[in-house]
Amino acid sequence: MSIPAGWQIDIGLEIHAQLNTQSKIFSGASTRFGQSANSQACAIDLGMPGVLPSVNAEVFVKAVQFGLSIGALINQESRFDRKNYFYPDLPKGYQITQMDHPIVLGGKITIETLDGTEKMIRVTRAHLEEDAGKSIHDFKPGYTGIDLNRAGTPLLEIVSEPDIKNAAEAVAYAKAIHQLLTYLEVCDGNMAEGSLRFDANISVRRQDAETLGTRSEIKNLNSFRFLEQAIHFETERQISVLEAGGTLVQDTRLFDPDRHETRSMRSKETATDYRYFPEPDLLPVMLTAEFIENIQAQLPELPGERAQRYQTAHELSASDAALLSQDRRLGDYFDQVLTSSSNAKSAANWVRGDLLSKLNEHDLSITACPISPKNLGEMIQLIDQGVISGKIAKEVFAALWSQQTESASDYVQKNQLEQVSDASAIEPLIDALIAENPKQAADLRAGKDKLMGFFVGKVMQATQGKANPKQVNDLIRKKLSEP
Amino acid sequence: MNLDFATLTDLQKALRNRAVSATELTQHYLTRIDALDPTLNSFISVQAEAALAAAGRADERFAQGDTRPLTGIPIAQKDIFCLQGQKTTAGSKMLSQFIAPYTATCSEKLAHAGAITLGKTNMDEFAMGSSNENSYFGAVHNPWDPQLIPGGSSGGSAAAVAAGLCAASTGTDTGGSIRQPAAMCGLTGLKPTYGRISRWGMIAFASSLDQAGPMARTAQDAAILLEHMAGHDPRDSTSLNEPVPRFSEGLDNSIRGLRIGVCREFFTEGLDPAVERSIREALAVYESLGATLVDISLPHTPYSVSAYYVIAPAECSANLARFDGIRYGYRCSDPENLQDLYQRSRGEGFGEEVKKRILVGTFALSAGYFDAFYARAQKIRRRIKEDFVNAFEHVDVIAGPTAPTPAFPLGEKASNPVEMYLQDIYTISASLAGVPAMSIPAGLANGLPVGLQLIGNYLQEGPLLQAAHQFQQATHWHSLTPPEAL
């Protein structure tokens, strides 16, 4: 959808990312997804009387990793607040969140816009909070079920400035956040399980207007597609209201993907007063400079830096570099392949090609890859050294994949797959072939180069593929040019 | 040995010498509870069987010589402490059927030290009150005169000890709820430094103020109990990671040279002249023991009640939001929809005082009012803390009355919230500052106990208890028991 002439759109996203800690943010209960209802909710998650929260320190590590990765300021004094509202899946009647002292302040995310240029989206803040449970409406007629397994799952809410100007940029930004969070391994990024959810603040204004228009907040979009669609439908709605001479009210809306519309849940006037105040059950947490420096020191090379290195140090193409950098473990694998093979281009081809297609075929992640990077590197090295041919390499690769062998060199040795590079072993074969096929030999000598394939093929056949094709080629020419 | 009003310390000796068995002692108290509690209403529940079973185990320990410091000592616990598998009501209809699935840390520690829980004591609903008239389970009567209130909110815990129904008890203090009933029932009650005793398993009223503490006959008894209630608890982030001194050791040291601050703001016009007389006499006793009285000012004291009645209700408005009729606790019958379920469950489940404070707190936190109320109250709170920090540069302990009056008749102030709230005028500032404070018997006014409040510096419960113990060595007020009517 293109934006109607004369209008511009301003979008700010609030992204709720579940941090992938083992236990919840304020209790020791497991965060595992998909368990039977209320089996992962302890007394603290249930909001029983007399229980108290205590913070899972792991959330600070993960939030700080994210903050440092986007160049944000880390708030060393982390405080929590209570956000008060009644809802059956909010057991305490308040959510513990960070209102006045978010752990992450500022920062930037780079995205690629529609015209292929780079653009910075400013992050306002990111703060820690607890997830609510789930209401399962009409789980039996007239009843709503409450599942509190999700209650207390740690969330990092990442709030952007309204720097996003269209749906494509919103999706690019959301995907960049998704990639970064999963790359840092602070969030599993599983959209289907709700690990990442978006709220979009959308407003429109005339092209020449200097201030932002009246915004609507579209809540709880749980896929990139819904995010994109919701922005389309909402901007269309707002523009049509304004073009018809109407006015907009600031409100909170729900996106209905089936009916392709957003519906108002509540207006600003009827908005809940959350009555924020400092959480008295938790003391402020002071993050030392040393704690932050340690995280900074242990921060992995980020995707952008990694792609840059692949292009400059290893002369990979931009697309190879980007592909190998998007997933941290894939990049790590690739880096390890490079420790035993110096041919980065060939390594990139093998990883991108044979390896990824095998992994996809078996629905495996790179960390579950049956071929160790060392073995793959060694195999590539064998090709480079002329020990095996590319053709034999396919066979070695298959053997490594099915784990029939300890290493590429073992397999090559055991099956005597070394290329026959000894001219004295090949020359008699060529002599015999020339003798057996005098017409073809004459034609080739006369310039019918197509026949070279015939001779090379015969030699390869005779050596069961172990001859070095280039060497065979050279030897045939040498033989034919002999008087 | 007369067991009725024996101190915990004497009972420890008697049990160790096998002068009395834990079973006999437990049975003795259970019999007294049966006889007297219909009048006093100090217990919400009595666990006779469990207590006798525990006493049997205690006697086995004595037989085997494998005892712990409190083995065989029967105590009562305020019904705000969760005890696993037992009804824990907080004095509310909302939790009248609530069975706690876990045990409060401080109750666990007491049990670990060998104490036997006889039952759970009555209290103002969710610890909100100064007279114990706000309990769903009915008012508690003062053993000194059943027509009078025992003080609140730990009124049941106070009445039970004062009437000789247990050796000691646990209470909680948010703005005076241990000290004021201790004063009115002639007991020694201690509110330790905020964070000294874990709040885990203690049903919250106002999280930043709530603090558990012992209620006993003597400072020595309180010191022993505190040793077994205090300590860092990783389950309570606000609990202090500080070593727990042996409070009961060093009580006998002289207090010669102790500097006692006499705060002029504690002797104001609302103070009953008979109470003031007792307090002045108590201060003279201290002088005779070699202490120096220093005239001091805690200038922000007059604002403490106002600040408290913003902060405590604000916190309670959130703390009590969990009682929504959804997961546990009282639920109204036949709700029409979610709104109705919330409104009637909470409307029917909470008492008037609780509802009043939730409303006040909700208002104080509302958009547009937050700065005028909550933020300002927090500013006053900081000033009050500074007052104490400054004062403790010049004095070791601050002394004054615990409450402006002795116990008053049931119903007298029930309809006058402001007068009721002024009951805590002397106790609230120590709560807001988080410093330890205690009340000890210091005389009689019109035949009723008067409490002397002693306030100490942060973590200085030791010197506080020592000052209290030395006073009790020189006076007999703590050994007075209610008149024979009982």
Tell me the per-residue pLDDT of A231-249, one tens digit each, with 9 for 90 and over.
Answer: 999 999 999 999 999 999 9
- What is the phi/psi pair of residue B51, to 5°? -65, -45
ipTM given for this complex: 0.96
Q: Is A227 in the same domain as A306?
A: no
Closest to B213 measured CA to CA, from B471, B467, B464, B477: B464
Q: Report helix, strand or coil for B44.
A: strand
Domain boundary among A381, A414, A447: A414
* Mean predicted confidence (pLDDT) in A215-228: 95
pLDDT > 70: percent of chain B = 99
Q: Compute the Cα dihedral for A353, A354, A360, A365 and give only its sign.
A: negative
Overall residue count recorded for chain B in this entry: 486
Yes or no, beta carbons of B88 and A52 under 8 Å apart: no
Q: Is A295 contained in some domain?
A: no
* Least reliable range by pLDDT among A316-325, B201-210, B356-365: A316-325
Q: Is A183 in the same domain as A74?
A: yes
Closest to B212 measured CA to CA, from B234, B195, B227: B195
Yes or no, beta carbons of B322 and A91 under 8 Å apart: yes
Q: Distance between CA atoms of B479 and B456, rounded to whole angstroms?
A: 24
Q: Distance between CA atoms of A330 and A338, rounded to whole angstroms?
A: 12
Q: Is A294 contained in some domain?
A: no
Q: pLDDT band at A5, cuts 50/70/90?
A: confident
Structure-token pair, residue A141? 């007629």
Residue B32 has a pLDDT of: 97
Q: Distance between CA atoms of A99 and A144, rounded to whole angstroms?
A: 30
Q: Is A231 in the same domain as A141?
A: yes
Q: Compute the Cα dihedral for A313, A316, A318, A319 and give only its sign.
A: negative
Q: Distance between CA atoms of B141 and B127, rounded to whole angstroms?
A: 17
Shortest CB distance from A54 goes to which of B81, B207, B234?
Answer: B234
Q: Is A267 in the same domain as A369?
A: no
Interface size A-B, in CB pairs within 8 Å, comes to: 104
B343 in A contact zone (CB under 8 Å)? no
Question: Does residue A164 have a pLDDT over 80?
Answer: yes
Q: What is the CA radius of gyration of chain A?
A: 31
Each as own residue / partner, the long-range contacts of residues A351-358 (CB below 8 Å, 24 or more positions apart, any chain) are A351/A324, A351/A376, A352/A320, A352/A323, A352/A324, A354/A394, A354/A397, A358/A401
B342 in A contact zone (CB under 8 Å)? yes
Q: pLDDT band at A482, cuts 50/70/90?
A: confident
Torsion angle, CA of B46/B50/B53/B58, rounded to 10 degrees? -80
Quick check: A479 and A430 in contact, CB under 8 A?
A: yes
| pLDDT (tens digit per residue) in B161-217 | 999 999 999 999 999 999 999 999 999 999 999 999 999 999 999 999 999 999 999
Cβ neighbourhood burial of A134 (10 Å; 0-12, 13-18, 19+)? middle
Please count the other Cβ atoms lying within 10 Å of the Cβ belonging to residue A287. Answer: 19
B253 in A contact zone (CB under 8 Å)? no
Q: Is A282 contained in some domain?
A: yes
Quick check: A376 and A337 in contact, CB under 8 A?
A: yes
Residue A277 has a pLDDT of: 97
Residue B430 has a pLDDT of: 98
Q: pLDDT band at B354, cuts 50/70/90?
A: very high
Residue A224 has a pLDDT of: 97
- Shortest Cα distance, chain B CAs vs residue A366, angstroms: 39
Question: Does residue A268 have a pLDDT over 80?
Answer: no
Yes or no, beta carbons of B236 and A54 under 8 Å apart: yes
Domain boundary among A414, A439, A465: A414
Closest to B329 measured CA to CA, from B96, B486, B107, B127: B96
The total number of structural domains in chain A stands at 3
A47 in B contact zone (CB under 8 Å)? yes
Interface test with A, best of B97, B235, B431 (most A CBs within 10 A): B235
Q: Is A53 in the same domain as A197?
A: yes
Residue B81 has a pLDDT of: 98
Q: Is A441 in the same domain as A397?
A: no
Torsion angle, CA of A361/A363/A365/A369, rounded to 10 degrees? -50
Q: Distance between CA atoms of B270 and A183, rounded to whole angstroms?
A: 67
Residue A450 has a pLDDT of: 84
* Mean predicted confidence (pLDDT) in B109-128: 98
Residue B410 has a pLDDT of: 96
> SS3 helix, strand, coil % of chain A, rounded to 5?
40, 20, 40
Distances (CA, A) of A28 to A42, A57, A149, A310, B241: 8, 12, 12, 42, 21
Question: Does residue B333 have a pLDDT over 70?
Answer: yes
Quick check: B433 and B441 in contact, CB under 8 A?
A: no
Quick check: A451 and A377 in contact, CB under 8 A?
A: no
Q: Is A333 in the same domain as A446?
A: no
Residue A46: list chain B partners with CB under 8 A: 327-328
B447 in A contact zone (CB under 8 Å)? no
| pLDDT (tens digit per residue) in B251-260 | 999 999 999 9
Domain boundary among A258, A289, A320: A289
Question: What are the residues facing B145 on neighbouring strands?
Answer: B142
Q: Is A323 in the same domain as A238?
A: no
Q: Distance between CA atoms of B77 and B46, rounded to whole angstroms?
A: 10
Question: Does residue B372 have a pLDDT over 70?
Answer: yes
Residue A265 has a pLDDT of: 86
- What is the phi/psi pair of residue A123, to 5°? -95, 130
The reply to whether omega before A357 is within 30° of 0 (cis) is no
| pLDDT (tens digit per residue) in A79-88 | 999 999 999 9
B222 Rama sector, left if φ>0, alpha if ψ -120 to 50, beta otherwise: alpha
Question: Does residue B412 have a pLDDT over 60?
Answer: yes
Quick check: B181 and B158 in contact, CB under 8 A?
A: yes
Yes or no, beta carbons of B100 and A92 under 8 Å apart: no
Q: Distance between CA atoms of B10 and B72, rounded to whole angstroms?
A: 12
CATH number at residue A453: 1.10.10.410
B112 in A contact zone (CB under 8 Å)? no
B379 in A contact zone (CB under 8 Å)? no
Residue B117 has a pLDDT of: 98
Q: Is A229 in the same domain as A356?
A: no
In A244-389, alpha helices (H): 289-298, 303-312, 318-325, 328-340, 344-350, 356-361, 373-384
Query: Which stretch of DSSP H or E encloses residue B254?
Result: none
Quick check: B125 and B91 in contact, CB under 8 A?
A: yes
Residue B419 has a pLDDT of: 82
Yes or no, beta carbons of B237 and A54 under 8 Å apart: yes
Residue B366: list chain A partners with CB under 8 A: 273, 275
Residue A432 has a pLDDT of: 86
What is the value of pTM for the model shown?
A: 0.91
Residue A483 has a pLDDT of: 62
Q: Count how many Cα atoms sit within 13 Å of the Cα of residue B27 in the half-sphere of its side chain.
A: 8
* Mean predicted confidence (pLDDT) in A329-357: 93
Closest to B206 measured CA to CA, from B237, B175, B239, B170: B175
Parallel, antiparallel, or unpaired for β A94-97 and A81-84?
A: antiparallel
Interface test with B, best of A281, A282, A285 (most B CBs within 10 A): A281
Q: Is A334 contained in some domain?
A: yes
- What is the phi/psi pair of residue B98, to 5°? -80, 125
Identify the DSSP state of A353.
Answer: I
Q: Is A2 contained in some domain?
A: no
Q: Which amino acid is at B141?
A: H
A284 in B contact zone (CB under 8 Å)? no
Q: Is A196 contained in some domain?
A: yes
Cβ neighbourhood burial of A141 (10 Å; 0-12, 13-18, 19+)? exposed
* Least reliable range by pLDDT among A20-34, A266-280, B48-62, B85-99: A266-280
**Closest-approach residue (CA) in chain A for B206:** A280
- DSSP assignments along A51-79, one per residue: ------THHHHHHHHHHHHTTPEE-SEE-
Residue with tokens 């049966």: B34
- What is the phi/psi pair of residue B158, to 5°? -70, -50
The mean of the pLDDT values for chain A is 92
Query: Which stretch of DSSP H or E encloses residue A136?
Result: strand A134-140
Q: Report helix, strand or coil for A359.
A: helix
Structure-token pair, residue A129? 């909070």
- DSSP assignments along A430-458, one per residue: HHHHHHH-HHHHHHHHTT-TTHHHHHHHH
Quick check: B217 and B261 in contact, CB under 8 A?
A: no
A272 against B129, higher pLDDT: B129
Q: pLDDT band at A311, cuts 50/70/90?
A: very high
Q: Is A249 in the same domain as A397?
A: no
Q: Is A154 in the same domain as A284?
A: yes
Structural domain of A280: 7-289
Residue B370: list chain A partners with CB under 8 A: 275, 277
Q: Is A170 contained in some domain?
A: yes
Which residues of B have a catalytic role annotated? 78, 153, 177
- Shortest Cα distance, chain B CAs vs residue A85, angstroms: 8
Structure-token pair, residue A122? 């400013």
Q: Is A219 contained in some domain?
A: yes
Question: Does residue B485 have a pLDDT over 60?
Answer: no
Residue A1 has a pLDDT of: 58
Q: Distance between CA atoms of A46 and B327, rounded to whole angstroms?
A: 8
Q: Is A305 in the same domain as A279?
A: no
* Mean predicted confidence (pLDDT) in A469-482: 82
Q: pLDDT band at B64, cuts 50/70/90?
A: very high
